[in-house]
Chain A
Amino acid sequence: MSKLDSKIPKGPIADKWTKHKNDIHLVNPANKRNIDVIVIGTGLAGGSAAATLAELGYNVKTFCYQDSPRRAHSIAAQGGINAAKNYQGDGDSIYRLFYDTVKGGDYRSRESNTWRLAEVSANIIDQCVAQGVPFAREYGGMLDNRSFGGVLVSRTFYAKGQTGQQLLLGAYAAMNRQINRGKITPYNRHEMLDLVIVDGKARGIIARDLVSGEIERHSAHAVVIASGGYGNVFYLSTNAMGSNVTASWKIHKRGAYFANPCYTQIHPTCIPVSGDHQSKLTLMSESLRNDGRIWVPKKKEDAEAIRSGKKKPNDLSAEERDYYLERRYPSFGNLVPRDVASRAAKERCDAGFGVNKTGQAVFLDFASAIERFGKERAGIHGNHNPSKEEVTKLGKQVIEEKYGNLFQMYEKIVDQNPYETPMMIYPAVHYTMGGIWVDYNLQSTITGCYVLGEANFSDHGANRLGASALMQGLADGYFVLPYTIGDYLSKDIKTGEIPTDTKEFDEAENKIRELLEKLINNKGTHSVDHFHKKLGQIMWNKCGMARNAEDLKSAMVDIKALREEFWRDVKVPGEMNEMNAELEKATRVADFLELGELFAKDALHRNESAGGHFREEYQTDEGEALRDDENFMYVAAWEYTGDPGNEVLHKEELDYENIEVKARSYK
């Protein structure tokens, strides 16, 4: 029998959340002091949840593998955070943010969750400003906004190209206040390696102290997973080196269903791969598409000449350039959603128009913006007849104010000056919309185990819009979980502390000990990275931007074989009881090697194209994604049965009562 009860409250969509909050059981402040909550991950979702739960009075323990909560990978988010504030008076509203998000997700997200996200978005900005987050402002002292892909309003709040950093430091500061009060105990340089279930409820974790190597038991009345996404299954991605699926995968193996693993976001504007040594890919914020124009040469000869260095991009006149996004999608132009922009770049490069040595890059050009801004700035200074040099100089100034840190980052990595010559960019794995299945309360199919942020599947459907990840992380952590978890914890006021000397903890700890010993004692011939890179190649070539049934079938076979090879032949130097970076990597890659197979299986079963999931067999004559609403308008939630290749599918049908489901068009 399927356990998928999404627990969506009854009533009109705009009233659901308010009504639900009123119906939730509350916990008396004195009783909260007797309740413990474990939070895994200290990014925007985990950090904000930990701080808020501690403010409410619960005893919180946080875990992160980094040396400080401030280093969680939310810190790297660049462009901004959406909120339906309508400060620009351009017609924005909760409904429009909701509509854009559902449409952007290609009608594969849960309507009620997306509405709630849009509803609390404005509170996030108020909260962050109150905390002292230094958002960008206009000369009048008011908050500034910019636009992101897939929308026709300006609703994105930002702090230069470091919005994630500033928001995370806000959540980190809120955590610090609670650490100082003794309400949060931080366990940094700790990694969760398993979930402990007692009487059907999540009651604790097994963690490894990454400094001493010790295995530890921690108990709580509820466990919150906010450990981020699994993009590193591709080896190369914009994720941090340590970003991993382990916490999610371990709860999956303990009974939490994994939803839509094949929904992956390939971000269109990243710095292209430069060689085999590459360890990660660097994003260039989507905000750059506000002002940058994307193009390749119209003629193949020109593309070849640029690749071989015989021509420079600036040698080509406007007529010789193909601004293919503006050509194909006139109404959204360069600001089409990420999945659309990525596929369009791949299409041009596959057709032979790529512009770097490998043929896998397109141009992102700021020359028009520099000219436009330069004229505007000259006008503000009272110079209404500026020379070309003056315009260029002032234009570059404006661009530097808006994107300075991104331009600097590009120059350091590529060794070219993007103020003078167009940037070269190519799509890269960035975000995973799939994740652990949760109900309206963000509870997984394991009672007492909640999942937040990128780690859950809920709000973005098959494609996430830019500047919505920060919004979701903070919405879940600040404004959703602190309410919904109370309803569950209200039944635990008399439970008392959960003991850790029970058979359930014994069993879980022994299993982890065996796993680690097996890795250390394996003494094979290849490093962990060797296997991780191989997995990444399979994923990118067969489960990447475009997929087909044949490739996906062979990917499942390949991954299974690679997993077996890993367990036969991996070499992990060092000991268990010490700081051992290779051992950390090994446990993570072992889980990626299982997830990868499920990923391919999910992609294979979904016989349609939707958002980031593009199946070559299912496309329109113009090469756009072709959904099959009749057969696939559901969330695919997979149940672990002992083998990732043979998981059992459960379906949550999606109903759209407040939005008309139609073909997604940005033309």
Chain B
Amino acid sequence: MKLTLKIWRQKNNKAKGELKTYPIDGIEGDMSFLEMLDVLNEGLINKGEEPVVFDHDCREGICGSCSLQINGEPHGPDRLVTTCQLHMRMFNDGDTIVIEPFRAKAFPVIKDLVVDRSAFDRIQQAGGYISVNTSGNTIDANSIPVNKHDADESFNAAACIGCGACVAACKNASAMLFTSAKISQFALLPQGRIEATERALNMVKQMDLEGFGNCTNTGACEIECPKGITLVSIARMNREFMSASLEGPLSNVWSKKG
């Protein structure tokens, strides 16, 4: 395949970026999208130009590192895949492909296609855990039965890989799908109920502090999510947040908002 790539190049966080055009040839359908970029970079290095920097690691769709906006869609045109699992057979000879970083105020560009997603870590740090210390004598695992449906639903929410496609897909750059996935995972398990109030209040508060937008129920996040996390998670989070706001320490959430 012969393709024309238009790729966002930006030297660093301070510099101004631009789309640059790169023709590329000899691309096979069995290559992954990132392997196609490897070919491009090898060529650039050989020509004495700077290769395009992009985040990637496991290349099997689970680490959540890769993060490209391809022809306007996070992770490109295929469904339920990350960029590293997107294969070139999804494209045709002669296509022009526009490759940009994930765009959001809360995801500043570091260089080229690499963005800073540490806001996601801070949302998790605000409450995405169950406060249990490590010891050799927590109670036997089977003394906490969980019905299969709840366990499966909890797993489905927990499958989030933290890639940020939901934010990049959203016209408001909202992180509701991401935040609600973790809140859902714990809301569905008996172990998670104990801290449910604090968790919902604190994670939502952090999400707002990071500068993510609000949810207007467009549903683009659900369509672009490579792991199939659904809007049901957001509904669940809203319910958790609502009841937490009523019963929880209201000062936590409203005082700073003024």
Known: A127-B138, A415-B87. A139 touches B148 (CB 8 A): yes
Let me know if B65 and A67 touch, CB within 8 A.
yes
Let me know if A176 and B38 touch, CB within 8 A.
no
**Chain B 110-140 near chain A by CB (<8 Å), digits 1 or 0:** 1100101110110011111111111111111
Known: A55-B133, A211-B110. A129 touches B28 (CB 8 A): no
In the complex, A241 has a CB within 8 A of chain B: yes
Segment 66-87 of A: residues with Cβ below 8 Å from B: 66-71, 73, 75-76, 85, 87
User: Residues of A contacting B209 with CB < 8 Å?
Assistant: none
Q: In whole Å, how far is B95's beta carbon from the nearest beta carbon of chain A?
A: 18
* A573–B61 CA distance with the chains assembled, in angstroms: 29
Q: In whole Å, how far is A99's beta carbon from the nearest beta carbon of chain B?
A: 22
Let me know if B136 and A479 touch, CB within 8 A.
yes
User: Residues of A contacting B154 with CB < 8 Å?
Assistant: 132, 134
Let me know if B34 and A51 touch, CB within 8 A.
no
Known: A132-B192, A134-B154, A137-B151. A76 touches B60 (CB 8 A): yes
User: Residues of A contacting B140 with CB < 8 Å?
Assistant: 126
Pick from A161-169, A195-203, A218-226 the stretch touching chain B: A161-169
In the complex, B246 has a CB within 8 A of chain A: no
Q: In whole Å, how far is B133's beta carbon from the nearest beta carbon of chain A?
A: 5
Let me know if B56 and A166 touch, CB within 8 A.
no
Let me know if B61 and A409 touch, CB within 8 A.
yes
The interface on chain B, measured as residues whose beta carbon lies within 8 A of the other chain's beta carbons, has a size of 81
Secondary structure of the B contact surface, majority rule? loop
**CB closest residue in chain B, given A68:** B121
The interface on chain A, measured as residues whose beta carbon lies within 8 A of the other chain's beta carbons, has a size of 80
Let me know if A173 and B85 touch, CB within 8 A.
no
Most buried by B among A123, A277, A527, A573: A277
Let me know if A52 and B134 touch, CB within 8 A.
yes
Let me know if B55 and A67 touch, CB within 8 A.
yes
Q: In whole Å, how far is A170's beta carbon from the nearest beta carbon of chain B?
A: 9
Q: In whole Å, how far is A52's beta carbon from the nearest beta carbon of chain B?
A: 4
User: Residues of B contacting A69 with CB < 8 Å?
Assistant: 121
**Chain B 80-124 near chain A by CB (<8 Å), digits 1 or 0:** 110001010100000000000000000000110010111011001
User: Residues of A contacting B45 with CB < 8 Å?
Assistant: 527, 571, 573, 582
Let me know if A180 and B126 touch, CB within 8 A.
yes
Q: In whole Å, how far is B203's beta carbon from the nearest beta carbon of chain A?
A: 11
Let me know if B146 and A141 touch, CB within 8 A.
yes
Let me know if B124 and A277 touch, CB within 8 A.
no
In the complex, A321 has a CB within 8 A of chain B: no
* A653–B62 CA distance with the chains assembled, in angstroms: 40
In the complex, B191 has a CB within 8 A of chain A: yes
Let me know if A412 and B148 touch, CB within 8 A.
no
Most buried by A among B34, B125, B192: B125
Q: In whole Å, how far is B171's beta carbon from the nearest beta carbon of chain A?
A: 25
Pick from A278-286, A439-447, A656-664 the stretch touching chain B: A278-286
Sample of 15 A–B contacts (CB below 8 Å): A67-B55, A68-B117, A70-B64, A71-B64, A127-B134, A134-B151, A138-B148, A162-B62, A240-B63, A282-B59, A408-B80, A527-B46, A529-B42, A571-B45, A579-B111
- Hey, which bits of chain A sit against chain B, CB under 8 A? 48, 51-52, 55, 66-71, 73, 75-76, 85, 87, 120, 123, 125-132, 134-143, 159-160, 162, 165-166, 169, 172-174, 176-177, 179-180, 186, 188, 211, 238, 240-242, 274-275, 277-280, 282-283, 408-409, 412-413, 415, 478-479, 482, 527, 529, 571, 573-574, 578-579, 581-582
